Chains A and B, each alone.
Chain A
Amino acid sequence: MAEIVLDGVSKRYPDGTTAVHDINLTIADREFVILVGPSGCGKSTTLNMIAGLEEISSGELRIDGERVNERAPRDRDIAMVFQSYALYPHMTVRENMAFPLTLAKLPKPEVAAKVGHAAQLLDLTALLDRKPANLSGGQRQRVAMGRAIVRDPKAFLMDEPLSNLDAKLRVQMRTSIARLQKRLGTTTVYVTHDQTEAMTLGDRIVIMYSGVVQQVGPPEELYDRPANLFVAGFIGSPSMNLLPAQVRDDGLHTIIGVIPHRSRGLPPEVVAGIRPEAFQDTRIRGGASFTDTVDILESMGAEKIAYFTFETGETGESGGTAFGDGAQVVARLDPKSRAREGEPATLWYDPAAVHIFDPDSGVNLTA
């Protein structure tokens, strides 16, 4: 059980790449923290610095109040689960799970008891004498988890542990990992690039983008109050509609019409963000609406996803940002919605649910 503190931690690789820039993060004892972000944003690098597999270029890493920058991985008492599982191919499942305990020179009966207990917890008892080559992907994943939990470390680090599994198994393992972590109460740092995994697993999420932390907070907070354009676009599926807008006295002029807003204090150009689920096709009292032809309609069973395409031109050069071309609007509708592909539909939304971002800095001006 441990508290992990990253105090201004940065990583510069010898070739000059700054992979991680000045991370400040306090991970509480028993907390489940997710590092999420697109490929190459420095998640693995951060995790490896906590593990001790990568040197920390500057800043301080403290575990339970003690500086551990200079400690070797084996002296940090942290267990890690790798994306490729990293099982030892020449050892049986039993030997794999016992490996950390044997290295720690625990007496044999104790090793057997701990391995047996972990195997039971992970439903691996029947597989103990197999070699990793003869296991399925899901079983290998569980062995990797088993090897991490046997020695009851201060913290678990997991680097995309589920990304090699098929979609169904991933959902299944996701809930088992969440349950296991609650049960063991071990501080856990979990890396993923999958926002659904991040939203469903963690107590808190750390969103990274090109080596810089964008926002830290519980899933609902990131969803409700994204700090900037990047977070807004990253969290939520389908992602938030980001529409370039001109600020006038009557509101924000966008491709879906004028969004009513008291525009005082806003820069002349902004980006308006509306979540797909903020739209509905029944009237909202005091709401705004737009009418357009449904381009494509996807029926997902529990919901319908409607896509609208707008001719750009009116918005001129402000149309098209890095976060979307500004010409497409996605709405997530009730399955009972009467919207039809190729036919016009009128969608309503609450102007208060619209986020307004500064197009230059990306900062959320409404949060």
Chain B
Amino acid sequence: MTAERDLGERRLALWLCAPATLIMIAVTGWPILYSFLLSLRRADLRFPADQEWIGLANYATVLGNPYWWTAFGVTALVTVVSVAIELVLGMLVALVTFRTIVGRGVVRTVVLVPYGIVTVAAAYGWKYAWTPGTGWLAGLLPAGSAPLTEQAPAIAIIILAEVWKTTPFMALLLMTGLALVPEELLRAASMDGANRWQRFTKIVLPLMKPAILVALLFRTLDAFRIFDNIYVLTNGAQHTSSVSIIAYHNLIGGLNLGIGSTMSVLILISVAVIAFVFIRVFGAAAPG
């Protein structure tokens, strides 16, 4: 009798999930499949007559192209460096705001402001700030320097804008992790002889590991798809393109649907690999 009921309930559950599943397939599954199909075709809108199935030839073109690899390198660099800085800064902000007793609400709100500003608007703010002649930050540099026109300084500024923008998000995620560490464990650790730093590394960090992993995963996936900041600050000039930027330039600017789609699929694969690594390599060792 219970088995029968179980079966009935399970069937009902499937029915209830069905609409959401169908919508998900329609709005995400189909575009993904469609770009994959496009990536297997020669599909350059400048030569609409010249379309045909060409197998993996687009992949060979992209993967054999130094521009793609430069963009891939820039993306990886920006991702790793900005996420690393965000993790450290975010942790500091989280620890400070978590310990704040007076005006905790106000402090948290203030810290979150950069995250609330539209990325493009903030990016223009940074761009003007670094523009020689008018920018308040450029004015601090020696006369004649235009940081956004050289690769290394431009990438540094991109990272700065990225860090400024998303550290609050990181801090917010880490704060929820901090809340999971029971106060009494920290008291026990101080009784056991741990100083502040040992309490942090031996108790807080291990217990926060799941929260840290989630924060890192979110931010890494996000940072790998970086677009707005670069689009506004350099638009990919001086070899500062990210993979999303060159995919956009090929797809929209170059009207080459085949190559653009190939790049999108490659980005999707990279993102999937990152997620897989996080979950399998780090996630397996998480406590609980």
Known: A84-B184, A89-B207, A90-B287. Is A147-B190 also a contact (CB below 8 A)?
no
Is B192 in contact with A72, judged by CB distance below 8 angstroms?
Answer: no
How does the 8 Å CB contact mask read for B161-194 relative to A, with 1 for contact and 0 for none? 0000000000000000000001011011111111
Give how many A residues have a beta carbon under 8 Å from the other chain's beta carbons. 22
Known: A90-B206, A90-B287. Is A99-B192 also a contact (CB below 8 A)?
yes
Q: Residue among B182, B192, B203, B207 with the most chain A CB within 10 A?
A: B192
Residues of A8-58 contacting chain B, CB below 8 A:
51-53
List of B residues within 8 angstroms of A82 by Cβ = 184, 187-188
Is A88 in contact with B190, judged by CB distance below 8 angstroms?
Answer: no
List of A residues within 8 angstroms of B190 by Cβ = 52-53, 72-74
List of B residues within 8 angstroms of A79 by Cβ = 191-192
Is B207 in contact with A90, judged by CB distance below 8 angstroms?
Answer: yes
Is B194 in contact with A86, judged by CB distance below 8 angstroms?
Answer: no
Once bound together, how far apart are the Cα atoms of A234 and B206, in whole Å? Answer: 44
Known: A86-B184, A88-B185. Is A78-B191 also a contact (CB below 8 A)?
yes
Once bound together, how far apart are the Cα atoms of A38 and B127, in whole Å? Answer: 65
Is B188 in contact with A86, judged by CB distance below 8 angstroms?
Answer: yes
List of A residues within 8 angstroms of B185 by Cβ = 86, 88
List of B residues within 8 angstroms of A86 by Cβ = 182, 184-185, 187-188
Q: Which of B182, B187, B194 touches A103 (beta carbons < 8 Å)?
A: B194
Q: Which of B187, B198, B288 touches A53 (beta carbons < 8 Å)?
A: B187
Q: For chain B, what secondary structure do more than half of its interface residues adopt (helix, strand, loop), or is it mixed?
A: helix
**B195: interface (CB < 8 Å):** yes
Q: How far is the CB of A205 from chain B (nearest CB, A)?
A: 24
List of B residues within 8 angstroms of A151 by Cβ = 193
List of A residues within 8 angstroms of B195 by Cβ = 72, 74
List of A residues within 8 angstroms of B182 by Cβ = 84, 86
Once bound together, how far apart are the Cα atoms of A54 and B203, in whole Å? Answer: 20
Is B203 in contact with A88, judged by CB distance below 8 angstroms?
Answer: yes
Once bound together, how far apart are the Cα atoms of A254 and B192, in whole Å? Answer: 56
Is B206 in contact with A73, judged by CB distance below 8 angstroms?
Answer: no
Q: Which of A52, A74, A147 touches B194 (beta carbons < 8 Å)?
A: A74
Is A89 in contact with B193, judged by CB distance below 8 angstroms?
Answer: no
Residue of B nearest to A76 (CB): B191
**A104: interface (CB < 8 Å):** yes
List of A residues within 8 angstroms of B192 by Cβ = 74, 79, 99-100, 103, 147
Residue of B nearest to A144 (CB): B188
Once bound together, how far apart are the Cα atoms of A72 and B195, in whole Å? Answer: 9
Once bound together, how far apart are the Cα atoms of A74 and B187, in whole Å? Answer: 10
How does the 8 Å CB contact mask read for A58-87 relative to B, with 1 for contact and 0 for none? 000000000000001110001110101010
Q: Which of B191, B203, B206, B287 touches A51 (beta carbons < 8 Å)?
A: B191
List of A residues within 8 angstroms of B189 by Cβ = 88, 99
List of B residues within 8 angstroms of A51 by Cβ = 191
Is B206 in contact with A74, judged by CB distance below 8 angstroms?
Answer: no
List of B residues within 8 angstroms of A72 by Cβ = 190, 195
Residues of B265-288 contacting chain A, CB below 8 A:
287-288
How does the 8 Å CB contact mask read for A126-151 relative to B, with 1 for contact and 0 for none? 00000001000000000000010001
Once bound together, how far apart are the Cα atoms of A74 and B190, in whole Å? Answer: 6
List of A residues within 8 angstroms of B207 by Cβ = 89-90
Once bound together, how far apart are the Cα atoms of A80 and B195, in whole Å? Answer: 16
Is B193 in contact with A104, judged by CB distance below 8 angstroms?
Answer: yes
Q: How far is the CB of B263 from chain A (nearest CB, A)?
A: 42
Residue of A nearest to B188 (CB): A86
How does the 8 Å CB contact mask read for A100-144 relative to B, with 1 for contact and 0 for none? 100110000000000000000000000000000100000000000
Q: How far is the CB of A108 from chain B (nearest CB, A)?
A: 17
Is B203 in contact with A80, judged by CB distance below 8 angstroms?
Answer: no
List of B residues within 8 angstroms of A53 by Cβ = 187, 190-191
Once bound together, how far apart are the Cα atoms of A88 and B287, in whole Å? Answer: 11
How does the 8 Å CB contact mask read for B188-215 relative to A, with 1 for contact and 0 for none? 1111111100100011001100000000
Is B193 in contact with A103, judged by CB distance below 8 angstroms?
Answer: yes
Once bound together, how far apart are the Cα atoms of A72 and B288, in whole Å? Answer: 32
Q: Which of B191, B202, B206, B288 touches A80 (beta carbons < 8 Å)?
A: B191
Q: Which of A52, A73, A89, A147 touches B287 (beta carbons < 8 Å)?
A: A89
Is A74 in contact with B191, judged by CB distance below 8 angstroms?
Answer: yes
Residue of A nearest to B187 (CB): A53
Q: How far is the CB of A138 from chain B (nearest CB, A)?
A: 19
Is B191 in contact with A73, judged by CB distance below 8 angstroms?
Answer: yes
Residue of A nearest to B183 (CB): A86
Q: How far is the CB of B143 from chain A (nearest CB, A)?
A: 53
Once bound together, how far apart are the Cα atoms of A78 and B188, in whole Å? Answer: 11
Known: A90-B206, A103-B198; 12 extra A-B contacts, CB below 8 A, are A52-B190, A53-B191, A72-B190, A74-B194, A74-B195, A78-B191, A79-B191, A82-B187, A86-B184, A88-B189, A100-B192, A103-B194
Chain B residues with a Cβ under 8 A of chain A: 182, 184-185, 187-195, 198, 202-203, 206-207, 287-288
A-B contact pairs, 14 of them (CB 8 A): A73-B187, A73-B190, A74-B193, A74-B194, A78-B191, A80-B187, A80-B191, A82-B188, A84-B184, A88-B189, A89-B287, A99-B192, A99-B202, A104-B193
